[in-house]
């Protein structure tokens, strides 16, 4: 089937034609590893996982190479180590483990290669030496800088001129720079920081050179697709292109960027208090399949809004699909679903088609199509049945039971102040209650469920 992808570089949807017939190669910028992935970080993972699944479907799993790096050398990691007194390798190993667990819970396949930057220092040094030899970089005071104005196409990807970029960007002016736009390829490390010997003294690489060197080592001088969040277009991807092209590599043909994730219409940020990690959601009992479904329901080039309403609807839809596919052996994915994904990852269109199939299509095709989107509906069904048994058991949890009795008593005695206090306390602990007409109480477990908060109510 023809695959069409929107290419940031040409600003249009193009028919995808791999460099090597019948094979596809892709590089996606991965996380800097020092803390748990937040929900926004999951977006590029799931977007490019969908693309990876499509490419495997089209060319066969053995013909697709997908590289996603781990940035395990970075000043934010150094700061975290200094702050916590923990060794850097312990922090990066732990974070990588979390990342793979959390993304696995969302149904993301592991890429074929997951290089760590610290394992590719020698190729980075070699590339920097080459750039100096070719006149595109210079060493100064233990640093090596890339000469932005030596690359005439700089800014083409994001469509800006160098002068506009200088005006708009927070470029660091430093005495060792010939031009404020020049960016760091290598910088010196003091003894307390990670460092490697190099022709310019002991130091560490800049962020951008990492991806250029690892892509070259693992995918060669030319490969098909390069992806990442659109916050990386400038400067990270402009800089990757400048480095690789000036080193004489063709680099990536197709550039793809996902839009950002928001929460209830607002940017997710720690200061707004709407910041959460993938693990937070999983721990609150939101199934990974639900998170994946919500993420896929918005096209990757549109901003995506995470809302509780969408989460509830996704849970309901998946529940319906469980009923429709229970015990069914999957056949092959529906052509309409594959066609939608082949059209620049039209995941929303694919989901619309799945709704139609669940009403009138054959169940074996429906199940295979759900799997094609990376949703493991049997795993979801199993999780749901475990969850509902916990929910039933909830009422018999001693503290819930004691408070429920007290609440009923308070209402009978018309002690509404205490009744409201208990009701609000339940709500605060993530349990919404409704009073039944027969005097009983029904509990609904919310996403923020935290039974430990009930202790304060005693």
400 binds ligand AMP (CB under 6 A): no
Minimum CB separation of residue 98 from ligand AMP in Å reads: 13
Q: Are the C-beta atoms of 38 and 281 separated by less than 8 Å?
A: no
List the one residue from 18, 44, 123, 206 that touches ligand AMP (CB under 6 A): 44
Which one, 87 or 303, has the nearer CB to ligand AMP? 303
How many whole angstroms separate alpha carbon 205 and alpha carbon 136?
Answer: 16
Which one, 183 or 200, has the nearer CB to ligand AMP? 183
32 binds ligand AMP (CB under 6 A): yes
Choose the one of ligand AMP, Zn ion, none that binds residue 126, judging by a C-beta under 5 to 8 angstroms depending on kind.
none
88 binds ligand AMP (CB under 6 A): no
As to burial, measured by CB atoms within 10 angstroms (0-12 exposed, 13-18 middle, 19+ buried), residue 413 is exposed
Which residues here bind Zn ion, judged by CB under 5 A?
29, 211
Q: Which residue is nearest to ligand AMP (CB)?
A: 229
How many whole angstroms separate alpha carbon 177 and alpha carbon 138?
Answer: 9
Minimum CB separation of residue 159 from ligand AMP in Å reads: 18
How many whole angstroms separate alpha carbon 292 and alpha carbon 304?
Answer: 12
Choose the one of Zn ion, ligand AMP, none that binds residue 211, judging by a C-beta under 5 to 8 angstroms depending on kind.
Zn ion
40 binds ligand AMP (CB under 6 A): yes
- What is the biggest distance separating any 2 CA atoms in the chain, rounded to whole angstroms? 87
List the one residue from 3, 7, 43, 314 that touches ligand AMP (CB under 6 A): 43
Minimum CB separation of residue 211 from Zn ion in Å reads: 3
How many whole angstroms separate alpha carbon 450 and alpha carbon 284?
Answer: 8
Which one, 29 or 157, has the nearer CB to Zn ion? 29
As to burial, measured by CB atoms within 10 angstroms (0-12 exposed, 13-18 middle, 19+ buried), residue 379 is middle
**Which of left, alpha, beta for 220 (phi over 0: left; psi -120 to 50: alpha)?**
left
Choose the one of Zn ion, ligand AMP, none that binds residue 312, judging by a C-beta under 5 to 8 angstroms depending on kind.
none
CA dihedral 381→386→387→390, nearest 10 degrees, is 160
Listed in order, strand segments (DSSP E) in 53-125 are 64-68
- For tokens 């602990």, name the residue: 429
Which one, 286 or 429, has the nearer CB to ligand AMP? 286
The pattern of x and - marking residues 266 through 285 that bind ligand AMP according to CB under 6 A reads --x-----------------
Residues that bind ligand AMP (CB under 6 A): 29, 31-32, 40-41, 43-44, 228-229, 231-232, 260-261, 268
């Amino acid at each position: 089937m023809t695959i069409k992808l929107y290419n940031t570089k040409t600003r249009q949807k193009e028919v995808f034609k791999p460099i090597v017939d019948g094979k596809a190669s892709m590089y996606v910028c991965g996380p800097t590893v020092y803390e748990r992935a937040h929900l926004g970080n999951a977006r590029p993972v799931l977007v490019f996982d969908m693309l990876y699944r499509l490419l495997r479907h089209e060319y066969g799993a053995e013909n697709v190479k997908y590289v996603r790096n781990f940035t395990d050398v970075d000043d934010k990691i150094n700061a975290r180590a200094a702050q916590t007194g923990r060794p850097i390798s312990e922090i990066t190993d732990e974070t990588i483990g979390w990342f793979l667990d959390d993304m696995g819970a969302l149904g993301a396949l592991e890429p074929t290669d997951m290089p760590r930057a610290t394992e590719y220092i020698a190729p980075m040094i070699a590339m920097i030496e080459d750039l100096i030899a070719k006149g595109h970089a210079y060493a100064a005071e233990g640093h090596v800088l890339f000469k932005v104005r030596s690359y005439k196409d700089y800014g083409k990807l994001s469509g800006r001129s160098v002068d506009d970029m200088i005006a708009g960007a927070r470029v660091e002016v430093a005495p060792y720079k010939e031009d404020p736009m020049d960016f760091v390829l290598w910088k010196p490390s003091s003894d307390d920081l990670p460092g490697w010997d190099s022709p310019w003294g002991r130091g560490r690489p800049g962020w951008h050179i990492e991806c250029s060197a690892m892509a070259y080592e693992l995918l060669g001088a030319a490969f098909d697709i390069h992806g990442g969040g659109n916050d990386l277009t400038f400067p990270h991807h402009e800089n990757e292109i400048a480095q690789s092209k000036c080193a004489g590599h063709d680099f990536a043909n197709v550039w793809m960027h996902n839009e950002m994730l928001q929460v209830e219409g607002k940017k997710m940020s720690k200061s707004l208090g709407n910041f959460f990690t993938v693990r937070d959601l999983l721990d609150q009992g939101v199934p990974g399949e639900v998170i994946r479904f919500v993420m896929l329901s918005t096209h990757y080039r549109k901003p995506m809004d995470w809302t509780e309403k969408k989460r509830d609807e996704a849970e309901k839809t998946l529940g319906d699909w469980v009923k429709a596919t229970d015990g069914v052996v999957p056949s092959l994915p529906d052509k309409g679903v594959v066609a939608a994904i082949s059209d620049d990852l039209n995941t929303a269109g694919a989901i619309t088609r799945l709704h139609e199939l669940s009403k009138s299509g054959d169940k074996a095709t429906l199940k295979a199509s759900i799997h094609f989107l990376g949703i493991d509906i049997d795993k979801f069904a199993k999780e749901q049945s475990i969850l509902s048994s916990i929910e039933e058991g909830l009422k018999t949890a001693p503290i819930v039971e004691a408070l429920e009795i007290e609440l009923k008593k308070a209402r009978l005695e018309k002690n509404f102040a205490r009744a409201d206090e208990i009701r609000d306390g339940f709500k605060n602990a993530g349990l919404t209650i409704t009073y039944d007409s027969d005097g009983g109480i029904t509990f609904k477990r919310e996403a923020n469920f935290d039974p430990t908060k009930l202790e304060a109510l005693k």
